[in-house]
Amino acid sequence: MESKLILYNTLTRRKEPFEPINPEHVGMYVCGPTVYGDPHLGHARPAVTFDLLFRYLKAAGYKVRYVRNITDVGHLEHDADEGEDKIAKKARLEQLEPMEVAHYYTERYHHAMEALNVLTPSIEPCASGHIIEQIEFVKRILDAGYAYISNGSVYFDVEKYNREYHYGRLSGRNLDDIIENTRSLDGQQDKHRSVDFALWKKASPEHIMRWPSPWGDGFPGWHMECSAMSTKYLGETFDIHGGGMDLMFPHHECEIAQSTAALGHDSARYWIHNNMITINGQKMGKSLGNFITLEELFTGKHRLLERAYSPMTIRFFVLQAHYRSTLDFSNEALQAAEKGLDRLMKGIETLGKLKAAPASTVDVAELEERCRAAMDDDLNSPMVISALFDWVRTINQIAEGQQSISEEDLQRLRATVNLYTFDILGLRDEKAAGASGSDMVPQLVETLLDIRQKAKAAKDWATSDAIRNRLTEIGIRVKDRKDGVDWEIE
């Protein structure tokens, strides 16, 4: 596919044609989750956004090495750089090994990503597996003179760096503003200035996640893993670095400073940031009580949810907004997305049944051009969806005999609709998967309903109700009739 992709580069604050260093080897690094809690809405948006980019780059013929990390050490509670390690804290509270916590939540994250049909990255390195690389990277920054050792910790010298480079370049800040907005030192810390950040932290005696280093036992600062691992897997200069807008400062700013200090230049060429998710117009936060995990969304078990929403409804909802716009979750908006997705899938079903005519009255190339132009324009997925909707209308007109389509055009239309709906937007027909994914589903439902009928006959209403309720929860509606039971997949 011929593509002229233009991406908005957060670093330069303008749209730029995407020109990779080597089309046979496009490097993309995206900051992944810190694995200490259930994956939530905040994880869905960057995952789907960068999945869309990954899928589109591949469809455009690029070979992509997509690296998405797992943070399993060094992400501290306060300002990412102070307080207790988030994973170690969870491990302490639940009396687990920190790696048990990390493993458990990594698995949960993977399950959620699979449900959202997010492709697995090429490499998924974790911070704890790259301590040696991080120590080496810290040494390079020390050798270059942009860091200092203090009481077993190593800190980045922000002021010195700012004299030669601009600290704040990505987030559009200058050092004076940053200093003004930084908490003052309480005298307990080893760093010289409040803006300095840890590259390596000395471990206190009770700190459980620790490794030996030239500076004593400790652990890497959170920002260090991304500089070290992106350099290891993608080289000193690579194409795309992505993440959520909330990571722009301090995380990505610090990453740029670290890489620039060690390598003499910034490593990533295009910085891409997705915007944030709000819930009923409010920022999402545990303290606000509107923190919704993906599992709660999929099951409907949250006081803010009127019911369950399927993973594809969530994915479609995310794609209906441009990734740089804010996205507000509400029951209303999700139900509208659900209807829209259903309309699209029904249209595709109709497309599968269309009969060709000797000649076309429709211009199939129009859809191809519109979809490609929309994706080329900084991944404008809402425009792709609106083009597909227009064509659902046309497909229905063909089905009703108001328009006609030739065999050649029909093949082409099916190929284009499939390419954009399934390969690029990454949608799945959940209902079709439920019905045809396994022939065992109807048999299993019948078996359960048999057991339920026996329970009813024995006046065991608890069991009978439990079976019906559990089936309803997974989307199977049970209808009692005088002469038996009917059921359908909703």
The DSSP call for residue 357 is B
Part in contact with Zn ion (CB under 5 A); list of ranges 161-169, 201-209, 218-226, 357-365: 218-226
Per CB under 5 A, the segment of 29-37, 103-111, 193-201, 333-341 that binds Zn ion is 29-37
Tell me the window of 30-38, 154-162, 206-214, 481-489 that interacts with Zn ion (CB under 5 A).
Answer: 30-38
Q: Measured from the CB atom, is 31 or 345 closer to Zn ion?
A: 31
Of 151, 125, 27, nearest in space to 71 by CA = 125
Q: Is the Cβ of residue 73 or residue 226 nearer to Zn ion in the bound state?
A: 226
Applying CB under 5 A, which part among 24-32, 272-280, 364-372, 418-426 lies near Zn ion? 24-32
Tell the smallest beta-carbon distance from residue 69 to Zn ion (Å): 6
In 143-297 the beta strands, taken as DSSP E runs, fall at 147-150, 153-156, 197-202, 218-220, 238-244, 268-274, 277-279, 282-283
Q: Which SS3 state, helix, strand or coil, does residue 241 take?
A: strand
Q: How far is the CB of 232 from Zn ion (least distance, A)?
A: 14
Tokens of 344: 């699209």
Residue span binding Zn ion (CB under 5 A) among the ranges 28-36, 91-99, 177-185, 374-382: 28-36
Confirm if 274 and 245 have CB atoms less than 8 A apart. yes
Stretch that binds Zn ion, among 25-33, 210-218, 286-294, 451-459 (CB under 5 A): 25-33
Secondary-structure breakdown of the chain: helix, strand, coil percentages, each rounded to the nearest 5: 50, 20, 35
Residues 31-60, one symbol each (x = binds Zn ion by CB under 5 A, - = not), give x-----------------------------
Q: Toward Zn ion, which CB reaches closer, 252 or 370?
A: 252
Phi, psi of 478, deg, nearest 5: -105, 130
Q: Which of residues 65 and 92 has its CB atom nearest to Zn ion in the complex? A: 65
For Zn ion, the closer of residues 74 and 168 by Cβ is 74
Collapse the DSSP code of 204 into the 3-class scheme (helix H, G, I; strand E, B; otherwise coil) and give the result. Answer: coil
Q: Shortest gap between Cβ of 65 and Zn ion (angstroms)? A: 16
The amino acid occupying position 421 is: T
Give the residue with the Cβ less far from Zn ion, 253 or 429: 253
Helix (H) or strand (E) holding 92: helix 86-94
**Alpha-carbon gap, residue 169 to 252, rounded angstroms:** 10
- Binding region for Zn ion (CB under 5 A) out of 196-204, 222-230, 382-390, 478-486: 222-230
Is residue 154 involved in binding Zn ion (CB under 5 A)?
Answer: no
Window 180 to 199, contacts with Zn ion (CB under 5 A): none
Closest by CA position to 254, among listed 223, 220, 219: 223
Q: Which amino acid is at 62?
A: Y
Residues 446-465 that bind Zn ion (CB under 5 A): none
Minimum distance, C-beta of residue 247 to Zn ion, in the bound complex (Å): 6
Smaller CB distance to Zn ion: residue 80 or 312? 80
Residue with tokens 């010195």: 160
Residue 184: exposure state from Cβ atoms within 10 A (0-12, 13-18, ≥19): exposed
Contact between 294 and Zn ion by CB under 5 A: the answer reads: no
How many whole angstroms separate alpha carbon 88 and alpha carbon 340?
43
Residue 251 Cβ vs Zn ion, minimum distance, rounded to whole Å: 5
Residue written as token pair 């080897």: 25
- Rounded to a whole number of angstroms, the minimum distance from the CB of residue 389 to Zn ion is 36
Q: Is 226 in the site for Zn ion (CB under 5 A)?
A: yes
DSSP state letters, 114-161:
HHTTPPPPSB--BGGGGHHHHHHHHHHHHHHTSEEEETTEEEE-HHHH
For residue 337, give both structure tokens: 């997305």
Q: Least separation, in Å, of the C-beta of 470 and Zn ion?
A: 41
Please, which residue, 31 or 115, has the CB nearer to Zn ion? Answer: 31
Total residues in contact with Zn ion, by rule CB under 5 A: 2
**Closest distance of CB 31 from Zn ion, Å:** 3
Q: Which is nearer to Zn ion, 243 or 340 (CB)?
A: 243
Pairing of strands 26-30, 147-150: unpaired
What is the rounded distance in angstroms from the CA atom of residue 290 to the CA atom of residue 460? 38
The residue among 243 and 311 lying less far from Zn ion, judged by its C-beta, is 243
Tell me the two tokens of residue 258: 């670290």
Binding site for Zn ion (CB under 5 A): 31, 226
